[in-house]
Structure 1
Amino acid sequence: MSMVTSEYKLNQGPEDGITAVKFSPSTAHFLLVSSWDCTVRLYDVVANTMRMKYQHTAPVLDCAFYDPTHAWSGDLDTNLKMHDLNTDQDTIVGKHDAAIRCVEHCPEVNVMVTGSWDRSVRLWDPRAPCNAGTFTQPDRVYTMSVAGDRLIVGTAGRRVLVWDLRNMGYVQQRRESSLKFQTRCIRAFPNKQGYVLSSIEGRVAVEYLDPSVEVQKKKYAFKCHRLKDVVEQVYPVNAISFHSVHNTFATGGSDGFVNIWDPFNKKRLCQFHRYPTSIASLAFNSDGGLIAIAASYMHEMGDISHPEDAAYIRQVTDAETKPNAPSASPRRWPDADKTAAD
């Protein structure tokens, strides 16, 4: 398929809600898609073909590449699976005591990390593969992101924990989200200096890991994914993905919109057209030329009829993703604030 169209829907998409889209860190055109239909699918997005799919016994809540030929995925049935994408062979690596919500790879320490509703994070040695430790969290794990050798964990109760993956004997930092409502997604800056956190209440916070007062003064939050009709409607911000080159980031909300933000000049760079349903997951590829967009109903309104779940691939340009040169007095974002009052 030619890449003339700037956006297209992936063929042979999942048959139920999409939980995650994750590009290969080394191969810019390979994408994993996990779904409530109990599958993980591998796509060649340039050819728009599904290369393979493998099954779990339950809905798959997250997936990640370990290397170009191995995918890891965790399901609602508590199982963690490693799949060899060359031989199409499965290995059940281990389990949690409740659903596995998050699966991440940390290349710096060479571990796989899972976060679960059983209030724990577990580390896994991918070479064996085997469990390399279980670490209790204060509540159910909703989201996680790796920043170099640090792990940022967002749990229920608006808690955020920063762990050092080389020394899990203690929590490096315990924080409370600066947003007033439940945390939906955390993603670390590619430069590993901080992270972006989103909530169910149409807000995003830009946070820094360095605990010094000077650095902490730079943090801020802003409103987004809100539609003004007669009354302002506020939507969950479900997904965040960083552009690997420019350090800008995309957010996806239950309003069906994807926005790209310049965190340095506090500006929105662009907004894509509205998708048919909620944005459940987003991922830029390794060279920043493509973004995968999972438009998938997240049952915000209960069990009602809804548009079909689909994953889209969109070519992005520097004009959409590159920060503008800072102006002498950068225009502040609407309601950008130091905390998240209101």
Structure 2
Amino acid sequence: MASNQFPLSSPPTDAISALKFSPDPDSTRLAVSSWDKNVYLYDLRDENGAVGEGKLLQKFEHRAPVLDVCFGENEDVIYTAGLDWDVRKIDIPTSTQTVLSSHGAGVISVVYSKEHDLLISASWDSTLHIHNTNTSSASSTSPPITIPLPSKPFALSLTPTKLVVAMSSRALHIYELPALATAIAASEAAAPRTSSSIEPWQRRESSLKFMTRTVACMPNDAGYASSSIEGRVAVEWFDPSSESQDRKYAFKCHRQNVEGVDVVYPVNALAFHPVYGTFASGGGDGVVALWDGVAKRRIRQYQKYPASVAALAFSGNGRFLAIGVSPGFEDGKEEVVTEGMVKVFIRELGESEAKGKGQRE
């Protein structure tokens, strides 16, 4: 099957901050958060079940720009984080929004662990909030555990057992989710629910020399990739043994030669394929590339998109790749015009399009 691509109708009106597919492998629902203070819920299929332009199902307005979104325990629940400092739960069938907690500054990232019923948010107030979502409706709004961080977080990503927190000063913390679940269960009756005693499983310094832009965990629970503002991606493994740590590496990407000058762009987005374990990167150069992290090679590079690639997401079955495109500050202009430039492209992947070197027949 050849690949096919189309833009979603009714895209956001301002810059895209995040894209997330429903975790259900059979679902084609996609949530998009934006600086226009809204979260958009789409279905890639129209009323007849055909994949085409997709349709906008609902739009949820917030008080301030929304910086991240994720699905919860099912595709009828989404969680959001934004510049209103709040972490919100949205019940899609009723359109009900519930504030679960408020940080002391903007909330940059939110992730949900279905294995441990944990919702984790990261804020520029240099804290994590850990919520236990496996509670009755009466207690679901109880205060979360607050974990202080040594510096401002930039991104979160998780696997079934690990949470990776990428921060300023090139710092990375890796937490074990079972330990976080045990800690939150033990502190249900404690007040205030702040715990500096919860230590990360590992503290690391980024392999990248410049500021971390984003992080994404491997679907096989083995490690993660991180990217920087300076056109590089690092691939690392959780296993602390010297043998595993010797495998880590970094490479240059998202660079263009313009009139003999090497122009470097930030790598804004990373996303792992849920089936094949390859990953996509998106940069300020408007380019998306697919990589085989094990073979250390680029699988393919797509045509240049009309603006900076802000976010990427694979569907639960790996059939679709969502690409959020919106203008950034890469051209050096102080003011960015977004009108008509914000797009969400959906790429329906060919059968072997995202397979790694060793997975091709």
Give the TM-score normalised by the residue count of structure 1. Answer: 0.92
- Of residues 86, 97, 102, the one that matches 1:90 is 97
In the alignment, does 2:335 pair up with 1:303? yes
Q: 1:75 offset after TM fit, Å?
A: 1.1
Distance in 2 separating the partners of 1:64 and 1:130: 20
1:334 matched to which residue of 2? none
Task: Give the counterpart of 2:276 among 232, 239, 246.
Answer: 246
Does 2:61 match 1:55? yes
Which consecutive unaligned segments of at least 5 residues does structure 1 have?
328-342
Corresponding position: 1:117 with 2:124? yes
Contact persistence 2:327–2:337 (CA under 8 A)? no
Q: Distance in 1 between matches of 2:325 and 2:57?
A: 21
C-alpha offsets along residues 279-306 of structure 1, whole Å, 9 cap, x if unaligned? 0000000111100000011334331435
CA separation of 1:275 and 1:77: change in aligned 2, threshold 3 A: same
How far is 1:273 from its partner? Answer: 0.8
What residue number does 1:46 align with?
45
- Report what 1:222 is aligned to: 251
1:144 aligns with 2:156: yes
2:21 alignment counterpart: 23
In the aligned structure 2, how far is the partner of 1:173 from the partner of 1:258?
31
Contact 2:327 2:336 in 1 (8 A): no
Once the two structures are superposed, residues 65-121 of structure 1 have per-residue CA deviations (whole angstroms, 9 ceiling, x without a partner) of 002110100110101111111111111111110000001001121111101101011
What is the alpha-carbon root mean square deviation over aligned residues?
1.7
Number of the residue aligned with 1:12:
10
Does the alignment pair 1:77 with 2:84?
Answer: yes
Corresponding position of 2:188: none
Matched residue, 2:192: none
What is residue 186 of structure 2 aligned with on the other side?
none
Alignment deviations for residues 169-216 of structure 1 (CA, whole Å, 9 cap, x no partner): 211111000100000010000001100000000000000111110111
Contact 1:125 1:131 in 2 (8 A): no
- Equivalenced residues, count: 325
Whether contact under 8 Å (2:119, 2:131) holds in the other structure is yes
Instruction: Give structure 2 stretches of 5+ with no counterpart.
Output: 47-53, 181-197
Aligned to 2:306: 276
1:211 pairs, out of 232, 235, 240, with: 240
Q: Per-residue deviation at 1:167?
A: 2.2
Q: In 2, distance between residues paired with 1:89 and 1:95?
A: 17
1:233 aligns with 2:263: yes
| Alpha-carbon distance between aligned partners in 2 of 1:99 and 1:146, rounded to the nearest angstrom | 21
Secondary structure, counterpart of 1:325 in structure 2 = helix
The answer to whether the 8 A contact 1:265-1:326 is kept is no
Q: CA deviation at 1:326?
A: 8.1
**Cross-structure match for 1:156:** 168
Q: Which residue identity is paired with 1:213?
A: S
Taking the TM superposition and a 5 Å limit, the aligned residue runs for 1:193-204 are 193-204=222-233
1:266 aligns with 296
Comparing 306-315 with 132-141, which one deviates more in the overlay? 306-315
Counterpart-to-counterpart distance in 1, 2:336 and 2:88: 32
What percent of counterpart residues are identical?
A: 38
Report deviation, 1:325: 2.6
Q: Secondary structure at the match of 2:143?
A: strand
User: Which residue of 2 is the match for residue 336 of structure 1?
Assistant: none
